[in-house]
Amino acid sequence: MAGVAQAGNPLGRALRDVRHMAEDRYSIWSWIATVDHKRIGIMYGITAFTFFLIGGVEALLLRIQLAQPNSTFLDPDQFNRLFTMHGTTMIFLVVMPLSAAFFNLVIPLMIGARDVAFPRLNSFSFWAFLAGGIFLNASFFIRGNIFEGDIGAPGAGWFGYAPLTSTEFSPGHGIDFWILGLLILGVASMAGGFNFIVTILNMRAPGMTLLRMPLFVWMTLVTSFLIIFAMPVITVALFELLFDRLYNANFFNASVGGSPLLWQHMFWLFGHPEVYILILPAMGIVSEILPTFSKKPLFGYPFVVFSGVAIGFMSWGVWVHHMYTTGLGTVANSAFGLSTILIGVPTGVKIFNWLATMWGGSISIKTPLLMCAGFVTMFTIGGLSGVLHTMVPSDFQQQDTYFVVAHFHYVLFGGSIFALFAGVYYWFPKFTGKLLGEGLGQLHFWLMLIGFNLTFFPMHISGLLGMPRRIYTYQEGFGFDTLNMMSTVGGFIIAASMLVFITNFISSLRNGEKSGRDPWDARTLEWSLPSPVPNYNFKEVPVVEARDAFWYTKYRENEEGVVVRIEGAAADDEEDDGEGGHGIHLPSPSYFPLIAAAGLPIIATGLIYDPALVAVGVATTMIGVFGWAIEPPTERR
Amino acid sequence: MIILDQVLPYVMQIHQKMHLSRVFSVVWSHRRQAVVGLALLGLLALFAIGCGADTPQNTFDTKGEVAERQKDLFLIAMWPALAIMIAILGGTVLILIRFRRRSENDIPKQTHGNTTLELAWTIAPAILLFGLGIPMVAALWEIGRDPSPDAFQVNVEGQRFLWKFEYPELLDESGDPVVTFSEVNVPAGREVALHLTSIDVIHSFWVPKLAGKLDAIPGRTQTMWLRADEPGSFSGQCAEFCGLNHADMRLVMHALPVEDFEAWVDEVTGGGSSASAAGVGGDSGG
Amino acid sequence: MLAIITAVEVALYYLDLSRNALVGLLLALSALKFALVVLWFMHLRFDNRLFSTLFVGGIVLAIGIFTVALSTVGGKLV
Amino acid sequence: MATSTGVDNRKLFMWLFLASECLFFGSLIAAYLLYRGQHGVPCMDGDLSTCVFPTDRTINGVEYEGIFDIPFTSVSAFVLLMSSVSMVLALAAIQRGNVRAMRIWLFTTAALGALFVGGQAFEFTEFYREGLTLETNLFGTTFYVLTGFHGAHVTIGVLVLFSLLIWSSRGKIQAKDSLNIELAGLYWHFVDIVWIVIFTLIYLIQP
C-alpha cells in the first residue's frame, strides 16, 4: 500500500487520516469501512428491516384501497406500482437480506471461525445490496411529485411478465429501474453466496465435520448453492429484457416471433429455487431454536439435513407449476404436477422432526419459541395449501386468485418472517448483551399471529369465490366485501405488532436485562462466547468433538446414563479481559468494497439516462476493484 | 433520538403498570379455549360466506362439467389437507402444553432420532401424495383433451382491456364472422371450444363457474373447452395481470337455451335486418 | 491436438455430409476439445474431486433444465 | 492457511464462480437455440428482417448465402485455443520460478485474447454493414447478445492478464504467488471452452 499513503502527499495524508478513522471502533467511519461479519450482519438487519417497514406501508396502502368495493383511495396506476414494489421489496430487500443478516451474524460463530472467507467481499455484498435497494426505491421519485401521487415505480408485477414489461406497454423508466435494481441486488446475493459456501466448506473449526454442523449452517449452505445457480438465470433474463427495452432487441417481442414464455421459463427457473432461498434459512433458524428451548437435540438430524438438501435439488424440477395455465400441454403439466407433489415429502419430514424434537422435551415457552411454534403451524397451513395447488386441474381455478396470495403469504410471512423474528429474539442477546423484553415480545407475537391470520386466512375464501390477484378494485355483489375488510383490519393489526416490536427493540437496547453468555442454555458454539461477541470472535479456535458442540461442554451422562450438568462448566465469566485479542490477525477495514459497490448504481443510472455516467460508474468500480486487489488484506494489530 | 429519550420512560412505565406479562399469563391459561374459539369462528365465517347467494364467480358453485371436475378434485385434496392441518396445529399446541418446562433443572432424555419413525413419516406422506397424484393426472387428461369436433367454436382475443369474441361458424350478411365484445353467447348443454390468443400482452380467460383459466398469449393460439350444463349468465374476468385496468377486463358468458340461441344465431347471421355484428353482444337471452 | 480437431471440424463443415452425421460428429469433436481443456489445462483431472463435482454439477444442471424448458415450448437443443 | 477441505479459499471461489457461469452461458445459449429454428424462411430479396441464415445452406436445390464467414471465425477460434496453450505455459513457468518466461507467455496470452476480441469487433462491424443489427430479427438479437457477453468475458480476461503483467513487472509475482496466475488461467480456459461450445452450436451446426 506504499503507493497510496505516502506522507507529505496531501492525498496520501487524507487517505491515511480516513484509514485511521476507520480503525477507531466508535467512529461512524469504522462502520462504513468495516469488514467484521458481525457489524455487516447488523447493518444488513437494520437496512432490511427498514425496507420491511417501507414494504409494509405499501401493503397497508393496498389494503386500504381493497377494504371496500369501488374504492378510489388509489388510482389503478398507483395500485399497480405499489403492489409491484411491495412484492419486489419483500422478496429482494427484506427476506433475502434478513436471511443474509443471520448468515453474517452467526455462521462464522457457529462453525468456530474468526470471520468469513472473504471479509471485504462480504462488505461489498452489503454495500451492493444497499445500493440496489436505494436505486430500486429511487424509482418512486422519477415522475412528477410523489407527494401528489405521481409515483414512478415499476408497475408490471414482481414477476415482470413479458410483453407487459416492453416499452410499448410499460413506458417510462420504472421497469428499467426494476431491471437494473434487481441486477445490482443479484450481484450482491451472488457475492454473498460464493462467500458463504467457501466459508462453510473451508473455515470450519477442527473437528467440525459436515455432519456435526448446526442445521442453520447446513441450510445456509444449500441456500447459497441455490443462489449461485439460480441468480445467473434471472441475470440473463433481466439483461435480455434490458436489451429489449433500451436497444430494441427482440427477445420477448411476439410480433417478430419472440416468445413471452421464454421469459416465464427463465423467471421461474430462477423463481422457484428463489422460493427455497427464502424459506430454507428460516427452517434452519427454527431447527436451532426448537432444540435449545426444548433442551433436547434436534430429532433425526441426518434426516432433517438430507431433506433440506433434497428440497434444494428438487427445487430445480418444479418451476413449471407456476405456468400451469400457460398451455404447455397435458404431458408437461402431469410431469410437473407429480414432481411438485414429491417436494411435499421432504418438507413434511422436516415438520414431523420439529414436532418430535419438542416431544418429550422441557419446553421453555418464551418469545423465540412462540415465534417458532407460529412458524411450524403457519408454514404447515401454507404447505398444505401448496399441496392443493399441485392438483393441476383445480389449480386452473386457483391460479392468479387470492387463494395463491393466501398460500404464499402463509409460507413467506407465516414461514420466513415468523422464523426471522424468532431469530431476532434468539440472537439479540448475543450481539448486544441484553435480552429483548419478554412481555412486549409476547405481545408482539400474539398481535402478529392474530393479525396475520385475520389478514391472510380470508384470502383463501375470497380466492375460492373467484377474486383474481392484482386487481385494483372489485365490484359489489361478488361476496368479496366482508373478506377484504377483514384482511385490511388484519393488516393494521400486523402493523401495530411491528410498533410493539420496535418499541421493544429500542427500549431493550437501552435498558434491557443483561443476558450473559448463554441465556437460553443453548447448544451451539456462538453461545460459548461473551455477549456481545468480541471482534476477534474466538480467543482460541475451538476443537469440536460432537454435534451440539457447546452443549457437550456443559452436560454429560453419568454412570446411570442420566444427563447431568457438569459442575462449573462454562462459567458465565461475563467480563472479557480484553487481553485475548492481542496478536490475532484481523482483516483490516477497507473503503474499497464501498467504492466498488457505489459504481454500480452510477452505471445503472447512466444506462438509463446518460452514457457519460456509465463511464463514471465503471471508473468508480474499477478504482474500487483495483484498490481492493492491491491493498493488503490484513494488518497486525 | 431526543424524542426517544422522552418517550421511552413513559412507554416503560405503561408497560410496568399494565403488568403486560401478567395479562399474557391470563390469556395463556385460556389458550385452549381461545384456539378452539378462533378455529370455530373461522369455519363459521367460511360456512357463512361460502353459502352466500351473491357469489357470481364462486368456484364451488359450479355450473359446468369442467368446473365440477375441478371442484371435486379440489375437495379430494382438501379434506385430507384439513385433517392434517388440524392434527399438526392441535398437536403443536398439545405438545407445548404437555411438555412445557416445569422446572429449570429438568433435563429431558436426549433422544437423537428414530429411523423407523423417520421412514414411516417419509413413506406415509409419499403414499398419500401419490394417492392424490392418480386422480390428479386422470382429471388432467380428461380436461386437457381436445374439444370434440362438433363443439361450438369461438375465437377469443384478449386485448387491453376487453375481450373480443369471434364466431367462425356464424357469418353475417357480408360473409364475415360475427363478432361480439365483452359478452359471449354460447349454446347451453353443448360443448364450446375456445381458441385463445392475444394482440398485446398476456391475458387469461376465466369463467369460474364453468371452467378454470387458460392464458391468452400473443403469438400463440391455445384451445380449451367447457360446457354450461344449464342456461344462465356467467361472470368472468381476465386473470393474468395485463396493466392499468386489468381489474375492469370483465366478461359475461351467456349460455342460452337451444331455442333462444337459435333465435340469436338467426338474428346475427342475417335474418334480414342490418344488425351490425359488434352490437349484437348486448342482446342476450338466458 | 486442439488445432487438429478444429481443423477437422471446419473441414467436416465443408464436406457434404448428411445433417445428422455432421451434427453428431461436430458435437463429439467439440466435446472432446472441451474435455481436453478442462481435464488437462484446468487440471481438473489431477485436482481435488470437489472442483470437478461443482463444475460438472453446474454443467449438468444447466443442460438439464434448459433441455426440459425448451422442449415444453417447442425448441430443440440442436 | 489450512482449510477444512484442504483446498485454497480463492481456488474454491473460482470454481464456484465458473460453475455458476455455466448457468449464465447456459441461459444465453438456450435463448439462441430456442429461436434459431424460427428464422428459417428463405432469403429471397436479401431483406434481413424477414430471414437470415447463420450459415450457408441449400433449400430445394437453391443455395442461400449465410452471414457467417466460417474460415475467418475458425481462425479466431484457433487463436483463442492457442491462447489457452500459452496460458498453461505461463503457469508452468511461474511454478518453476521462471518469472521471465511467465511474463512472455502471459503477454502472448493477453495479445492473442486481444486479437480474438479484435476479430469479433471486425465480425460485428461486417454483419452490421450487411444490415444485421440487434433490432433486425431474432437471430440478430440472440447472436449479438450471446457472443457479445462472451466477448465481454474475454475482454475482462485480457484486462486481468495485463494487470497481472504490470504487477509482475513491479516484481510482485514470484513462484509463491503462482495461485494468482492459476486463477486467471482457470477463468481464461473457461472462457475458451465456452467459445468451443458457441463455435460448434452457433457457427458449425446449421439450423
Helix/strand/coil (H/E/C) assignment for every residue in A442-507: HHHHHHHHHHHHHHHHHHHHHHHCCCECCCCCCCCCCCCHHHHHHHHHHHHHHHHHHHHHHHHHHH
Whether residue B66 is predicted with pLDDT greater than 70 in this model: the reply is yes
Q: Are residues A361 and A276 both part of a single domain?
A: yes
Q: Are residues A15 and A99 both part of a single domain?
A: no
Chain A (181-210) residues lying within 8 Å, Cβ to Cβ, of chain C: 201
Which pLDDT score, from 0 to 100, does residue D207 have? Answer: 61
Name the domain count of chain A: 2
Q: Are residues C38 and C52 both part of a single domain?
A: no
C63 near D CB under 8 A: yes
Residue A3, domain extent: 1-32
Q: Are residues A26 and A44 both part of a single domain?
A: no
Neighbours of chain D (3+ CB pairs under 8 A): A, C
Q: What was the ipTM of the complex prediction? A: 0.89
Whether residue B28 is predicted with pLDDT greater than 70 in this model: the reply is no
Percent of chain A at pLDDT > 70 equals 94
Q: Are residues A119 and A27 both part of a single domain?
A: no
C10 near A CB under 8 A: no
Whether residue B50 is predicted with pLDDT greater than 90 in this model: the reply is no
CATH label of the domain that carries residue A434: 1.20.210.10
**Strand, helix or coil for residue A575:** coil
Q: Is residue A633 assigned to a domain? A: no
Contact state of C62 with D26 under an 8 Å Cβ cutoff: yes
Q: Are residues A426 and A562 both part of a single domain?
A: yes
- Mean per-residue pLDDT for B173-197? 94
Q: Are residues A44 and A24 both part of a single domain?
A: no
Whether residue A374 is predicted with pLDDT greater than 70 in this model: the reply is yes
Which pLDDT score, from 0 to 100, does residue A33 have? Answer: 87
Greater pLDDT, D177 or A602: A602
Q: Are residues A176 and A255 both part of a single domain?
A: yes
Contact state of C58 with D18 under an 8 Å Cβ cutoff: yes
Query: At which of A543, A562, A587 does a domain end?
Result: A587
Q: Are residues C24 and C59 both part of a single domain?
A: no
Environment class of A476 (CB within 10 Å of its CB; exposed 0-12, middle 13-18, buried 19+): exposed
The average confidence (pLDDT) of chain B is 83
- Mean per-residue pLDDT for A76-103? 96
D20 near A CB under 8 A: yes
Which pLDDT score, from 0 to 100, does residue D152 have? Answer: 96
User: Across A212-343, where does the E strand assignment appear?
Assistant: none
Percent of chain A at pLDDT > 90 equals 77
CA-nearest of A307, A352, A460 to B87 is: A352
Q: Are residues C75 and C63 both part of a single domain?
A: yes
Name the domain count of chain C: 2
Q: Are residues A154 and A269 both part of a single domain?
A: yes
The DSSP letter of residue A349 is: H
Which pLDDT score, from 0 to 100, does residue A541 have? Answer: 87
Q: Are residues A193 and A301 both part of a single domain?
A: yes
Residue C22, domain extent: 1-44
Q: Is residue B43 assigned to a domain? A: no
User: Closest Cα of chain C to A198: distance in Å?
Assistant: 12
Which pLDDT score, from 0 to 100, does residue B248 have? Answer: 94
Contact state of B108 with A296 under an 8 Å Cβ cutoff: yes
Residue B85, domain extent: 57-98+120-271
Q: Is residue A637 assigned to a domain? A: no
Q: Are residues C39 and C54 both part of a single domain?
A: no
A26 near D CB under 8 A: no
- Chain D CB contacts of A230 under 8 Å are 23
Q: Are residues C53 and C32 both part of a single domain?
A: no
The average confidence (pLDDT) of chain A is 91
Which pLDDT score, from 0 to 100, does residue B35 have? Answer: 65
Q: Hey, what's the cell of A489?
A: 383490519
Q: Are residues C57 and C71 both part of a single domain?
A: yes
Which pLDDT score, from 0 to 100, does residue A491 have? Answer: 96
Whether residue C73 is predicted with pLDDT greater than 90 in this model: the reply is no
Name the domain count of chain B: 1
Whether residue A551 is predicted with pLDDT greater than 50 in this model: the reply is yes
Residue-wise pLDDT for A254-301, tens only, equals 888 788 999 999 999 999 999 999 999 999 999 999 999 999 999 999
CATH label of the domain that carries residue B218: 2.60.40.420
Contact state of C73 with A269 under an 8 Å Cβ cutoff: no
Interface residue of C60, C65, C70 to substitute, partner A, most A CBs within 10 Å: C65
Contact state of A269 with C65 under an 8 Å Cβ cutoff: yes
Band of the pLDDT at C17, cuts 50, 70, 90? Answer: low
Contact state of A440 with B126 under an 8 Å Cβ cutoff: no
- Mean per-residue pLDDT for B180-198? 95
Whether residue A6 is predicted with pLDDT greater than 80 in this model: the reply is no
User: Closest Cα of chain A to B261: distance in Å?
Assistant: 27
Range of lowest pLDDT (A74-78, C68-72, D107-111): C68-72
Q: Are residues C2 and C23 both part of a single domain?
A: yes
Chains D and C touch (3+ CB pairs under 8 A): yes
Q: Are residues C40 and C57 both part of a single domain?
A: no
- Mean per-residue pLDDT for A57-74? 95
Chain A (231-270) residues lying within 8 Å, Cβ to Cβ, of chain D: 231-233, 235-237, 239-240, 243, 247-251, 256-259, 262, 266
> Among C40, C42, C58, whose Cβ lies nearest the Cβ of D23?
C58
Q: Are residues A139 and A28 both part of a single domain?
A: no
Which pLDDT score, from 0 to 100, does residue B49 have? Answer: 59
- Chain D CB contacts of A228 under 8 Å are 16-17, 19-20
Q: Are residues A205 and A96 both part of a single domain?
A: yes
Q: Is residue A597 assigned to a domain? A: no
A459 touches A409 (CB < 8 A):
yes
**Three-state secondary structure string covering D36-67:** HHHHCCCCCCCCCCCCCCCCCEEECCEEECCC
C12 to chain D: closest CA residue: D204
Band of the pLDDT at D104, cuts 50, 70, 90? Answer: very high
- Chain C CB contacts of D37 under 8 Å are 75-76
Whether residue B285 is predicted with pLDDT greater than 50 in this model: the reply is no
Q: Are residues C2 and C36 both part of a single domain?
A: yes
Interface residue of B105, B136, B142, B214 to substitute, partner A, most A CBs within 10 Å: B136
Contact state of A265 with C73 under an 8 Å Cβ cutoff: yes
Residue-wise pLDDT for B245-269, tens only, equals 999 999 999 999 999 999 999 999 8
Q: Are residues C53 and C30 both part of a single domain?
A: no
**Which residues make Cβ contacts (< 8 Å) with residue A630, sequence separation at least 6?**
A1, A3
Whether residue A233 is predicted with pLDDT greater than 60 in this model: the reply is yes
Query: At which of A544, A571, A587 does a domain end?
Result: A587
Q: Which stretches within A111-251 are classed as H helix?
A: 119-138, 174-202, 215-247
B70 to chain A: closest CA residue: A394
Which pLDDT score, from 0 to 100, does residue A637 have? Answer: 39
CA-nearest of B269, B274, B66 to B168 is: B269
Q: Is residue A593 assigned to a domain? A: no
User: Closest Cα of chain A to D199: distance in Å?
Assistant: 20
Q: Are residues A94 and A137 both part of a single domain?
A: yes
Q: Hey, what's the cell of A241?
A: 429484457
Q: Is residue A522 assigned to a domain? A: yes
